[in-house]
Structure 1
Amino acid sequence: MPADTRPDPDASAPALAPAPAPAPALAFAPPPGIRYAGIGDEAAPGLAGQLDAVRQLGWNAVELRTVDGRALADLDDRAFGDLTEQLAATGTDVVCVDSRIADWSRPVTGPFALDTDELRTLARRCPALGTRHVRVMSYPDDGLAEPEWARRVKQRMTALARQAEDAGLVLLHENCAGWAGSRADRMLDLLAHVDSPALRLLFDTGNGVPYGYGATELLTAVLDHVGHVHIKDALPTGPGQAAYTLPGHGAAELRECLGLLLCTGWRGVWSIEPHTRLRPHDGTDARGEDSVDAFVAYGRELERLVAEEVLEAEAGAVPVPSAVPEPSAHVGGVHVGGAHV
Structure 2
Amino acid sequence: MKPHPHNAFALTGIGDEADVGLAGQISALRRLDWRAIELRTVDGVAMADLDPRGFEAVRDAVREAGLEVVCLASRIGNWARPITGSFHHDLAELDVLTAQCAALGTRFIRIMSYPGGELDEQDWAYRVITRIRRLAERAEQAGLVLLHENCSGWAGTDADRMLRLLDEVGSPALRLLFDTGNGVAHGYDAVTMLGRVLPHVAHVHVKDAVATPNGVGYTLPGEGHAGVAECLRMLGDAGYTGWLSLEPHLATRPHEGLRAHGDSAELFVRAGQRLRQLVQQTTTSAAQSRGPGVA
Same fold (TM over 0.5): yes
User: Which TM-score applies when normalising by structure 1?
Assistant: 0.82
Q: Give 3-state SS (helix, strand or coil) of 2:118's partner.
A: coil
Aligned-partner Cα distance in 1 for 2:21–2:172: 33
Matches within 5 A, 1:1-341: 33-238=8-213, 241-285=215-259, 287-308=260-281, 310-317=282-289
Relative to structure 1, the CA distance from residue 68 to residue 31 in structure 2 (aligned partners, 3 Å threshold; closer, same or farther) is: farther
More relative contact order, 1 or 2 (CA 8 Å, 6+ apart): 2
Q: Which digits, 9 at most, give the CA deviation of each residue in 1:16-64, with x for residues without a partner?
A: xxxxxxxxxxxxx997652100000000001100011101100011100
The amino acid across from 2:267 in the alignment is A
Whether contact under 8 Å (1:137, 1:181) holds in the other structure is: yes
- Structure 2: distance between partners of 1:138 and 1:303: 31
Bigger Rg, which one: 1
Deviation at 1:311, TM superposition (A): 2.3
- Residue type of the partner of 1:303? R
Q: Distance in 2 between matches of 1:30 and 1:193?
A: 33
| Displacement after TM superposition at 1:168 (Å) | 1.1
Aligned amino acid, residue 108 of structure 2: H
Identity of aligned residues (%): 52
Cα distance in structure 2, aligned partners of 1:102 and 1:288: 27
Question: What's the CA shift string for 1:238-259, capped at 9, x where partnerless?
Answer: 49x3100000000000110000
Runs of 5+ unmatched residues, structure 1: 1-28, 320-341
CA contact (8 A) 1:30 1:36 kept: no
Q: Deviations over 1:260-283 (max 9, x none)?
A: 000111111000001010101122
Q: Flag as ranges the 4+ runs of structure 1 deviating above 3 A.
A: 29-33, 316-319
Higher normalized helix content (fraction of residues): 2
Change (3 A) 1:182 1:238: farther
Superposition RMSD on alpha carbons, in Å? 1.6
Tell me the SS of whatever aligns to 1:278.
coil
Q: In structure 1, the residue corresponding to 2:224 is in which secondary structure?
A: coil
Give the total of aligned pairs. 288
CA distance in 2: counterparts of 1:119 and 1:202, whole angstroms: 17
